[in-house]
Structure 1
Amino acid sequence: MTLATQITNWIILGVLVICFAYQAIYWLFLYIKKDKPHKEVKEHRFAVLIAARNEEAVIGQLIESIKMQKYPAELIDTYIVADNCDDSTAEVARSKGAVVYERFNKVKVGKGYALNYLLNNMEEDGLNDYDGYFVFDADNLLEKNYIKEMNQTFCDGYRVITSYRNTKNFGSNWLTSGYGLWFLHEAQWLNRARMLCGSSCAVSGTGFFFSREILERMGEWNCYLLTEDIEFTVSQILQGEKIGYNKNAVFYDEQPEKFVQSWHQRERWVKGYQQVFQKYGKQIAKGIFKEKNFSCFDMTMSIWPAFFVTAFTIAASLALIIIGILADQDISFVLYNAGLNFLKTYGLMALLGAYTVFTEWKRIRAGAGKKMLSIITFPAFMFTFAPIAFVALAKKVEWKPIEHHCTVHLSQLHINE
């Protein structure tokens, strides 16, 4: 049993090195590479696109933060698709000055369908005189220099751009802080490093930009999978697009505070990842092995290996325990090894959480105590992905809306500054 356990450990270590060693190089890039200077800045005309479903509590604050941008107001227009709403989302958005289209379709459900409906209606109404489009969720808030910063990166030549995803309810509980730390890690460790080393970044749900040229190439918004952001990212990379990132374009997102909602959301993510690789798997494999496209490899490693390594570790430990019991062998070493692997994983995740907390300390909107507590609870948040993933891969998952109740204004996030 000892030999079998040691072989299992070596297999796990080998997989981890193959899948994640390159991210250690990413970390080095954060400290040895400098941001390239921006090119000459030119002001562009933008449309802000927001798909909202029963978001009357938060949609007004987002529109207000758009109006507060340090960018010419006449160059920004806001469009809302009130998607299957039975509240006052449309009325609130109109009262704040947004152009609103209402959509009622219980069959084609999801953000991708809503965005396509919105863009098609804008096109039919002649509202297409824009250089590019921003996509936000209704619960988001933008820092005042957001569009100005993103315009600079657009002027640098990037036609798809993502941004710094912060959390407006970070300190609510272990779930919101867990989400918050992961998105900060994704923004600063992964996307910023990708930007520095010249690789493609990844769009993460909301807070991103695409140019008019990208939309024209797509024909229409045609990303309808459960994770339309990952589908959009992968489809653009496969077409040779390099997605940019702006670390100074900061927006705030509201995270689920209830475990049931968090379970449904992350279940959708996992099922969406599966859908993306079912649809684009052959093209991704071709990109990795034939075309030597590093970004295809990077996107694959960022999504699947952590789950499979966790699943393999759990399955291998259980198998060794069952075999040991059936063969009447001493399984104390197997149990010891399983516990040790758990502690090692917990420690590594806590270390990742601590690094993120301390490097992004000033930007995290929570008290010092809650920031420190998040380091301890972050591994627990990550561990819950394992059972969610197992269930998601074995069942049919449908898109479900997330309720938003955090009605803070941008000024309240800066109250202690």
Structure 2
Amino acid sequence: MLRFVRHLNESIILFLGIIYAYQAVYTLIGLWLRRRKEIRPRARLHKYAAVVSARNEENVIGDLIASLKAQRYPSELLDIYIVADNCTDRTAEIAEAAGAIVYRRSSRTEVGKGYALDWFFARLCRERRDYDGYFVFDADNLVDPNFVAEMNRTFDSGKYDALTSYRNSKNFGSCWISAGYSIWFLREARFLNAVRCALGLNCAISGTGFLVSDRLIRENRGWPFHLLTEDIQFSADCAVRGRRIGYCGRAMVYDEQPITLRQSWDQRLRWSKGFYQVDGRYSWALLRGILYGGRRGFSCYDMLMTIAPAMLLNVGLVLFNGVIVAAAFSLPHFLTRWVIREVVHTVVFLLVNFYLGMLLCGGLTVLSEWKAIEAKPVQKIVYLFTFPFFMLTYVPISLAALVRRVEWKPIRHNAVKKA
């Protein structure tokens, strides 16, 4: 039994290491990649719609619209739409005064961003308005003045059905929670999406600051992605169907991160539940997609690993060892002590390696993106060491998401300016 416990623990740890080893390769490639000046061909100017689903966002909607109005791109080629979704405040009025086209939507049953986008595209189709693509933003965003021009340049290559961008934060320095989010999204940009794009693999949409072609919207007959994480659902669907998602690192959007543990818990509980939903719906299709081989097959594998409940596997390993300890009390005393010592060693090994792994991950991200992070140097350093604790809070969140019924809840945003 003792040998079995040790071998099982070692086998599970080794298995997790093997299936995620490719991300270590991504990191090495990400360190090698550099933002360099390049000669880029002149791009044809496309017509776009910027779409924002907003629920009670009167504090921030005006700033977002102002940043979209300030784009270094012909204003006649960029229309701004606000879907005032179940609003009970002045979001619609402020958006109209700021120059946006406002659609008011009310539904008590179909709640959430996915439903709001689907409703919007259905209405736009009826109105027969023609666009080449649609930008999707969250109401709390601020958009860099060159965002649309840079996305247009990449989109005009014709290689992609959708594009994601460089997601930065307005409030990295607010607290350890907002910094934790910020580091994770910066890592996603530098060490995941930038590398995927360089290797010709599919990228993943992450909530906001992305572009979807009109061709793909028409093919999908709108936005039929209504799970709690509709962005990941869209990304998984594209991987399965061979639709290309690219990345434009020159296009930057600033996002406001939660600053309280309660807000963060609610948001990440929804994300975790949404990942389980996507995992349940797309895992088998992604497994089949791996058989395509080549870049498409590896894109399916990458997406499968993205939605896989890796945190639960680690938690399950800890719980398994807890059961072993409980069973060990029926053994002779000297064997009980040996089992407890073996289990404590395994749990400590997991915790220490998790902390060190996240510290390394965060450290490489902060150092690589040092200039892009708008915070004081001391904040960048201090919050680097709290980043592993932020990630560790996913443990209870992942467990709660297994058993709790989760519904979409709005996150209250404030008029936070960039640091």
* TM-score, scaled relative to structure 2: 0.93
Query: For residue 307 of structure 2, what is the aligned residue in structure 1?
Result: 303
Letter in 2 for 1:147: V
> By how many angstroms is 1:32 displaced?
5.0
Rounded to whole Å, the distance in 2 between the matches of 1:32 and 1:181 is 19
Residues 221 and 333 (structure 1), Cα distance of their counterparts in 2 relative to 1, 3 Å cut: closer
> By how many angstroms is 1:396 displaced?
1.5
Greater displacement, 275-284 / 236-245: 275-284
1:384 pairs with 2:419: no
Contact 1:40 1:155 in 2 (8 A): no
Letter in 1 for 2:84: A
**Residue 263 of structure 1, aligned match among 255, 262, 265:** 265
Rounded to whole Å, the distance in 2 between the matches of 1:211 and 1:256 is 30
Query: For residue 7 of structure 1, what is the aligned residue in structure 2?
Result: 7
Query: For residue 69 of structure 1, what is the aligned residue in structure 2?
Result: 71
Percent sequence identity over matched residues? 44
- What are the residue-to-residue correspondences of 1:156-235 with 2, within 5 Å? 156-157=157-158, 158-235=160-237
Q: How many residues align structurally?
A: 409
Letter in 1 for 2:362: G
Rounded to whole Å, the distance in 2 between the matches of 1:347 and 1:406 is 35
Query: For residue 29 of structure 1, what is the aligned residue in structure 2?
Result: 29
Query: For residue 350 of structure 2, what is the aligned residue in structure 1?
Result: 341
Rounded to whole Å, the distance in 2 between the matches of 1:2 and 1:166 is 49
Contact 2:53 2:117 in 1 (8 A): yes
Residues 195 and 29 (structure 1), Cα distance of their counterparts in 2 relative to 1, 3 Å cut: same
> By how many angstroms is 1:89 displaced?
0.2
Residues 167 and 31 (structure 1), Cα distance of their counterparts in 2 relative to 1, 3 Å cut: closer
Q: Secondary structure at the match of 1:102?
A: strand
Letter in 2 for 1:227: T
Residues 278 and 338 (structure 1), Cα distance of their counterparts in 2 relative to 1, 3 Å cut: closer
Query: For residue 151 of structure 2, what is the aligned residue in structure 1?
Result: 150
Q: Secondary structure at the match of 1:171?
A: helix
> By how many angstroms is 1:263 displaced?
1.1
> By how many angstroms is 1:3 displaced?
3.5
Residue by residue over 1:260-306, the C-alpha shift from the partner in whole angstroms, topping out at 9 and shown as x without a partner, is: 22111111111111211222233222112466611111011122252
Letter in 2 for 1:151: N
> By how many angstroms is 1:4 displaced?
4.5
Q: Secondary structure at the match of 1:78?
A: strand
Residue by residue over 1:228-262, the C-alpha shift from the partner in whole angstroms, topping out at 9 and shown as x without a partner, is: 00111111222211210011111011111111221
Rounded to whole Å, the distance in 1 between the matches of 2:32 and 2:392 is 32
Greater displacement, 343-352 / 115-124: 115-124
> By how many angstroms is 1:137 displaced?
0.4
Q: Where do 5+ consecutive residues of structure 2 fail to align?
A: none
Rounded to whole Å, the distance in 2 between the matches of 1:323 and 1:226 is 39
**Residue 313 of structure 1, aligned match among 309, 313, 317:** 317
Letter in 1 for 2:154: T
Q: Secondary structure at the match of 2:49?
A: strand
Residues 305 and 106 (structure 1), Cα distance of their counterparts in 2 relative to 1, 3 Å cut: closer
Residue by residue over 1:192-227, the C-alpha shift from the partner in whole angstroms, topping out at 9 and shown as x without a partner, is: 010111100000011100111111111111111111
Rounded to whole Å, the distance in 2 between the matches of 1:106 and 1:38 is 48
Greater displacement, 301-310 / 101-110: 301-310
* TM-score, scaled relative to structure 1: 0.93
Letter in 1 for 2:311: F
Q: Secondary structure at the match of 1:362?
A: coil
1:132 pairs with 2:141: no
> By how many angstroms is 1:28 displaced?
2.9
**Residue 103 of structure 1, aligned match among 93, 102, 105:** 105
> By how many angstroms is 1:121 displaced?
2.3
Q: Where do 5+ consecutive residues of structure 1 fail to align?
A: none
Query: For residue 51 of structure 1, what is the aligned residue in structure 2?
Result: 53
Q: Secondary structure at the match of 1:80?
A: strand
Contact 1:310 1:386 in 2 (8 A): no
Letter in 2 for 1:279: R
